[in-house]
């Protein structure tokens, strides 16, 4: 069966006012199957929103095409969009209107009317748990409540495909939990196909059936989480806090050459907010990050070696391969850099 | 179409639910209409006259007749110095050939609308049917027509025609005399009398149609000594036009706001065609503009403003201007990037185009320099005011507003073309 969402060779080049070309997306191929939760994971500026905008028909791709349920977004935009519910990154609501008025209006835009419209609006209000506040103006809602209405609007017409672009940005943990649970409900209760973008490894990890990692406009890895972490091999990631603001280069060299399994060792300088004095900085100390196969087993020898170099260890963290490690492995940068 | 109308309806609802919008839709224009109507209330408000300087270097009966004819053809002309009065001084010496340069300067400065010089030898040239040119100076716009030139033309036609008739009559008498072999008239003075009688008769006959034609011409919005429309006949259409412009241009800010609050993007990701979204926005702006016209002209109705003879034409001018402003706003929305930029520009642009186009005061006021009248042609308000003046002030009908309406609609087509083509959701 054909995939629910497909993209072939999607490219987007922006030309800025001063004539500079920005290649925001450099050829993205995707195939998301029906009933799947697919995450697009990448740091800020990676091209997630631009990709979403292209496959929802908001901006024209410079090259390539995408289809939803087999309908080309550029060729048959109205058919493709009828299957699609978009939940944008920002709150996209009329602040002066009540929750119900917003839902009513957008419902009409999806072609709903009369009793049918009313029923769907009621359903959605129940789903987002805002029935009791339905007649309040959206501008008076809390951030989390606005988020819920924002999600509700995209579900009014019971779409087969839902796009969610970083829906948890800027909300508290409780509401964030709610959003994540909603994603599962969409797949499990309504059998919807969800394309979810995030820069948070934990979210992608928790939600996704499959993940595409995007960086600088390119998908650099794609697969189930197991498939992706296998790319990194058995490498564990050790983060060792030390009480010095600088680590001797010999130590780093020694770690890489003398200990079996270590593939990378680097010093992460301590970072503090501006205006904090150097004394504070000294107290905080820096970190040594080590990538090592069977890192747990190698840990005692690593600590010994550090001690031999007269550096005191404050803390030790060992992480098994995860998406963060995959990203680090592929780009040499942390997701949140 | 239903989705388009729903978008329009929502737009109107949001716009009209904001108190500040209601104020700028009602209170501000009403106050301004009264203020401007009071400040610029003209005396009789009916008669409008154009100052025309005449230098008579011939000082003959024929030249005097020319002046009298010119006055008769178009009573709207205020002839200087023949009509010299206290209210309108014209410091033009009665006879002084050397002063032509000064008089030309006066026209160039916009102190006078036109200058006609009757050169010496005018009477003799007429007598002998010799060609003669009458120097004529004017700053009137080709586009808006030249009422004075038309009047002068009419008089010259009259004079020429009468002269030709008189000459023909004399030739006829000569021919008769030759044929009959004798003098029909006892003495030559009787031939002169005949010539004079025929001339006068011919000239009288000629006057009627010419007078009608040139009077039509004076309806064009040319510089007038009295300053053209005044009082409410100026301030109602003027204020209305300016606020319609404001209402339209404020739509830019709203469009950008919709883009910022992402509702525009949301609409774009819904199963809606481009024409439904943009059309809905255009229609709501257009309707708000018409509502603005309705409010100020409604006030005009209350204060007893004469709406002229052609309500349909009046509605047409309003609609054409509303369409033009809406298209301008749509195009501007594709040019400006930020809301701050947009609101600063809308205030600046609204005020400039309104003042330039004669929304504050009539462009026909004598102290408005000619250069301003030329620059005013870039403002859509100019064409709207021209149309309104034709209808409200000069009592014109549909045909009199076809040119300004046509120009407004043509400009709208251009703005819509680029506005719709360049409109982006993101
Ligand atoms: N309209 C635009 N004009 C120019 N550059 C843009 C535009 N939109 C996005 N970009 C650039 O494209 C890149 C990708 O942006 P975006 O898709 O928003 O990333 P993400 O959503 O992953 O954070 C960024 O470098 C961004 O600055
Ligand atoms: Mg984004």
Give me the residue spans of the domains in chain A.
5-16+28-230, 235-271+279-320
B220 occurs within a structural domain: no
Tell me what pLDDT residue B144 has.
47
> Going by C-beta distance under 8 Å and a sequence separation of 6 or more, which residues neighbour residue B302?
none
What DSSP assignment string belongs to A134-196? TTSBGGGS-HHHHHHHHHHHTTTT--SEEEEESTTTT--HHHHHHHHHHHHHHHHHH--EEEE
Q: Ligand 1 within 6 A of A48 CB?
A: yes
- What secondary structure does DSSP assign to A220-243, as a single string? EEEE-HHHHHHHTTTEEEEEEEES
Two structure tokens written together for A75: 């060729």
For A95, phi and psi rounded to 5 degrees?
-65, -30
Which of B2, B6, B265 lies at the smallest CB-CB distance from A92? B265
Give the integer Cα–Cα distance in Å for A91 and A89: 7
Query: Do B55 and B38 reside in the same domain of the chain?
Result: no
Of the residues B14, B266, B267, B424, the best mutation for testing chain A's interface (the one with the most A CB atoms within 10 Å of its CB) is B266
Interface check B272 vs A, CB under 8 A = yes
Residue B310 domain-assigned (yes or no): yes
Q: Ligand 1, from A45, A54, A199, A213: best to mutate by most atoms within 8 Å of Cβ?
A: A45
Q: Provide the pLDDT confidence category of residue A241 given band limits of 50, 70 and 90.
A: confident
Quick one: A5-16+28-230 is in which CATH superfamily? P-loop containing nucleotide triphosphate hydrolases (3.40.50.300)
Q: Are A129 and A182 in contact, with CB atoms under 8 Å apart?
A: no
Residues B314 and B175 in one domain: no
Please tell me which of A185-189, B53-57, B181-185 the model is most confident about, judged by mean pLDDT.
A185-189
> How many structural domains does chain B have?
2
Chain centre to alpha carbon of residue A165: 8
- Residue identified by tokens 């462009």 is B363
Give the Cβ contact number of residue A270 at 10 Å.
Answer: 18
Ligand 1 binding pocket includes A84 (Cβ within 6 Å): no
- CB-closest option in B18, B261, B270 to A109: B270
Question: Strand order in B50-56's β-sheet?
Answer: B77-80, B50-56, B114-118, B136-138
pLDDT single digits (tens) B338-382 = 888 888 888 888 889 998 888 887 777 767 777 888 888 899 999
Q: Which residue has the higher pLDDT, A217 or B159?
A: A217
Residue among A239, A197, A210 at smallest CA distance from A328? A239
For ligand 1, atom 18, the nearest C-alpha belongs to A49
* DSSP 8-state symbol, B321: H
Q: Does residue B263 share a domain with residue B393?
A: yes
Residue A222 has pLDDT above 50, yes or no: yes
CA distance B382 to B378: 8
User: Do residues B240 and B144 share a domain?
Assistant: no
Residue B210 scores a pLDDT above 50: no
State the smallest CA–CA distance between residue A110 and chain B in angstroms.
6
Q: Which of A141-145, B46-50, B214-218 has the lowest mean pLDDT?
A: B214-218
CB contact under 8 A, B3 and A111: yes
Three-state DSSP at B300 gives: helix
Average pLDDT for residues B391-398, to the nearest whole number? 83
Top-level class of domain A235-271+279-320: alpha beta
**Distance in angstroms (rounded) separating the CA atoms of residues B33 and B360:** 9
Distance CA B118, CA B136 (A): 9
- Higher confidence at residue B377 or residue B193? B377
| Residues written for chain A | 337
Please tell me whether residues B83 and B192 are part of one structural domain: yes
Q: Which residue among B156, B185, B213 closes a domain?
A: B213
Within-domain flag for B357: yes
Across the A/B interface, how many CB contacts are shorter than 8 Å? 69
User: Which ligand approaches the C-alpha of residue B265 most closely?
Assistant: 1
> B254 to chain A: nearest residue by CA?
A94
- Residue B120: give its domain's CATH number: 3.40.1710
Q: DSSP labels for B162-191?
A: HHHHHHHHHHHHHHHHHHHTS-SSSSHHHH
Structure confidence by residue, pLDDT tens digits, B233-287: 888 999 999 999 999 988 888 889 898 899 999 999 999 999 999 999 999 999 9
Residue B15 and residue B38 share a domain? yes
Q: What is the mean pLDDT of residues A195-203?
A: 93
The token pair at A247 is 């680590």
pLDDT tens for A243-255 read 877 778 888 888 8
User: Both B68 and B18 in a single domain?
Assistant: no
Mean pLDDT of A151-166: 94
pLDDT higher than threshold 90 for residue A309:
no
- Whether pTM > 0.80 for this model: the answer is no
Give A14 or A237, the one with higher predicted confidence.
A14
Lookup: tokens for A218: 């390119």
What digits encode the pLDDT tens for the residues B28-67?
888 888 887 776 554 334 445 677 888 888 888 888 888 8
Residue A45 in contact with ligand 1 by CB distance below 6 A? yes
B6 touches chain A (CB under 8 A): yes
Structure confidence at residue B180 as a pLDDT band (50, 70, 90): low
Strand B50-56, strand B114-118: pairing: parallel
**Alpha carbons within 13 A on the beta-carbon side of A182:** 26
Shared-domain flag, residues B195 and B271: no
Amino acid A264: pLDDT: 83
Residue B143 has pLDDT above 70, yes or no: no
**Tokens matching residue B313:** 């034409």
Rounded Cα–Cα distance for residues B113 and B146 (Å): 9
Kindly state whether residues B84 and B194 are assigned to the same domain: yes
pLDDT confidence band for B94 (50 / 70 / 90): very low
- Domain range enclosing B260: 2-42+230-422
Neighbours of ion ligand 2 (CB under 5 A): A 48-49
User: Does any domain span residue B302?
Assistant: yes
Starting at the earlier edge strand, list the strands of the sheet with A71-72.
A21-32, A5-15, A63-68, A71-72
More confident position, B89 or A213: A213
| CB proximity list for B249: less than 8 A, separation 6 or greater | B325, B328, B329, B332, B345, B346, B349, B350
Question: Are A94 and B265 in contact (CB < 8 Å)?
Answer: no
Considering only residues B8 and B134, tell me which one the structure prediction assigns the higher pLDDT.
Answer: B8
Give B392 or A12, the one with higher predicted confidence.
Answer: A12
Query: What confidence tier does A230 reach under pLDDT thresholds 50, 70, 90?
Result: confident
> CA A120 to CA A113: how far, in whole Å?
10
Given B213, B238, B255, which residue is the final one in a domain?
A: B213
Could you give the CA distance from residue A302 to residue A308 in angstroms, rounded to a whole number?
10
Tell me the three state secondary structure of residue A94: coil
Q: How confident is the model at residue B150 (pLDDT cuts 50, 70, 90)?
A: low
Q: Measure CA of the first residue to CA of the last residue in chain A; give whole Å.
A: 39
Q: Which residues of A touch B14 (CB under 8 A)?
A: 94, 96-97
Which tens digit of pLDDT belongs to each residue from A246-304? 778 888 888 888 888 888 888 888 776 666 666 666 667 788 888 888 888 888 888 88
Is B262 at the interface with chain A, CB within 8 A? Answer: yes
| Ligand 2 centroid, distance to B334 Cα (angstroms) | 23
Residue B38 to residues A138, A237, B297, B350, B360, Cα–Cα distance (Å): 46, 83, 16, 22, 12
Helices (H), B117-146: 122-127
Q: Which atom of ligand 1 is nearest to the CA of A22?
A: 5
Please tell me the predicted confidence (pLDDT) of residue A250.
86
The answer to whether B399 contacts chain A (CB < 8 Å) is: no
B97-124 in b/e form (b: 16+ CB < 10 A) is eeebeebbebbeebbbbbbbbbbeebbe
Q: Which of B191, B135, B123 is nearest to B159 (CA)?
A: B123
CB contact under 8 A, B269 and A105: no
Q: Which one of A24, A56, A60, A337 would you pick to mutate in the ligand 1 pocket, going by the greatest count of ligand atoms within 8 A of its CB?
A: A24
**pLDDT tens-digit readout, B3-34:** 999 999 999 999 998 888 888 888 888 888 88
Mean pLDDT across chain B: 78
How is residue A168 written in tokens?
């948890």
- On whether both B240 and B295 belong to a single domain, the answer is yes
Domain shared by B281 and B418, yes or no: yes
- Residues B72, B159 within the same domain: yes
Using CA coordinates, name the residue in chain A closest to B265: A58
């Amino acid at each position: 069966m054909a995939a629910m969402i497909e993209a072939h060779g999607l490219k987007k080049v922006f030309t800025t006012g001063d004539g500079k070309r920005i290649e925001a997306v450099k050829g993205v191929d995707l195939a998301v199957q029906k009933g799947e939760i697919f995450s697009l994971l990448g740091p800020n500026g990676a091209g997630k929103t631009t990709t979403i905008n292209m496959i929802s028909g908001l901006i024209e791709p410079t090259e390539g095409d995408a289809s939803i349920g087999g309908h080309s977004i550029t060729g048959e935009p109205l058919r493709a969009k009828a299957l699609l519910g978009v939940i944008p990154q920002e709150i996209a609501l009329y602040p002066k209107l009540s929750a119900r008025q917003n839902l009513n209006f957008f419902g009409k835009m999806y072609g709903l009317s009369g009793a049918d419209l009313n029923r769907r609006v009621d359903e959605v209000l129940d789903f987002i748990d805002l029935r009791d506040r339905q007649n309040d103006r959206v501008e008076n809602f809390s951030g989390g409540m606005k988020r819920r209405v924002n999600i509700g609007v995209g579900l009014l017409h019971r779409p087969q495909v839902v796009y969610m672009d970083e829906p948890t940005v800027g909300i508290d943990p409780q509401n964030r939990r709610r959003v994540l649970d909603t994603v599962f409900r969409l797949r499990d209760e309504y059998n919807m196909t969800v394309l979810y973008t995030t820069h948070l490894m934990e979210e992608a990890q928790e939600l996704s059936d499959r993940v595409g990692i995007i960086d600088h406009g390119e998908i650099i890895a794609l697969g189930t989480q197991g498939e992706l972490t296998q790319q990194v091999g058995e490498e564990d990631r050790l983060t060792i806090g030390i009480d010095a603001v600088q680590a001797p280069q010999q130590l780093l060299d020694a770690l890489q050459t003398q200990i079996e399994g270590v593939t990378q060792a680097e010093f992460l300088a301590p970072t503090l907010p501006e205006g904090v004095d150097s004394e504070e900085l000294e107290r905080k100390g820096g970190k040594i990050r080590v990538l090592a196969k069977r890192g747990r087993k190698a840990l005692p020898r690593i600590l010994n070696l550090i001690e031999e170099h007269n550096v005191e260890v404050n803390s030790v963290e060992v992480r098994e391969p995860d998406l963060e490690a995959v990203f680090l492995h592929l780009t040499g940068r942390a997701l949140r850099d | 179409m239903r989705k388009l109308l729903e978008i329009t309806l929502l737009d109107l609802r949001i716009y009209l639910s904001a108190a500040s919008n209601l104020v700028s839709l009602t209170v501000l224009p009403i106050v301004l209409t009264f203020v401007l109507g009071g400040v610029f209330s003209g005396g009789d408000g009916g008669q409008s006259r154009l100052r025309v300087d005449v230098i008579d270097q011939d000082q003959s009966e024929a030249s005097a007749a020319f002046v009298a004819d010119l006055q008769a053809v178009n009573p709207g002309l205020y002839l200087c110095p023949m009509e010299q009065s206290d209210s309108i001084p014209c410091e033009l010496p009665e006879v002084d050939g050397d002063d032509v340069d000064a008089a030309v300067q006066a026209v160039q400065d916009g102190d006078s609308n036109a200058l006609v010089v009757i050169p010496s030898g005018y009477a003799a040239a007429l007598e002998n049917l010799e060609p003669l040119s009458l120097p004529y100076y004017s700053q009137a716009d080709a586009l808006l027509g030249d009422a004075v030139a038309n009047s002068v033309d009419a008089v010259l036609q009259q004079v020429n025609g009468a002269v030709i008739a008189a000459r023909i009559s004399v030739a006829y008498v000569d021919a008769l005399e030759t044929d009959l072999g004798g003098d029909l008239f006892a003495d030559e003075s009787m031939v002169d009398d005949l010539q004079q009688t025929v001339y006068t008769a011919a000239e009288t006959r000629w006057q009627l149609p010419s007078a009608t034609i040139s009077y039509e011409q004076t309806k064009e919005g040319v510089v007038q000594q009295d300053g053209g429309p005044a009082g409410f006949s100026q301030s109602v259409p003027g204020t209305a036009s300016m606020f319609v412009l404001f209402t339209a241009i404020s739509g830019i800010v709203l469009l950008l706001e919709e883009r910022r609050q992402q509702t525009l993007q949301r609409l774009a990701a819904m199963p809606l065609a481009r024409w439904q979204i943009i059309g809905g926005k255009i229609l709501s702006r257009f309707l708000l503009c018409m509502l603005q016209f309705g409010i100020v002209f409604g006030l005009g109705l209350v204060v007893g403003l004469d709406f002229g003879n052609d309500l349909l034409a009046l509605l047409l001018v309003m609609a054409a201007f509303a369409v033009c402003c809406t298209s301008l706003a749509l195009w501007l929305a594709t040019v400006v990037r930020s809301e701050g930029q947009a609101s600063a520009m809308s205030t600046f642009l609204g005020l400039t185009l309104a003042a330039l186009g004669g929304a504050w005061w009539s462009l026909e006021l004598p102290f408005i320099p000619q250069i301003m009248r030329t620059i005013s042609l870039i403002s859509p308000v100019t064409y709207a005011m021209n149309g309104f003046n034709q209808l409200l002030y000069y009592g014109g009908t549909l045909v009199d507003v076809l040119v300004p309406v046509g120009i407004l609609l043509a400009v709208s087509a251009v703005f819509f073309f680029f506005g719709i083509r360049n409109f982006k959701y993101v």
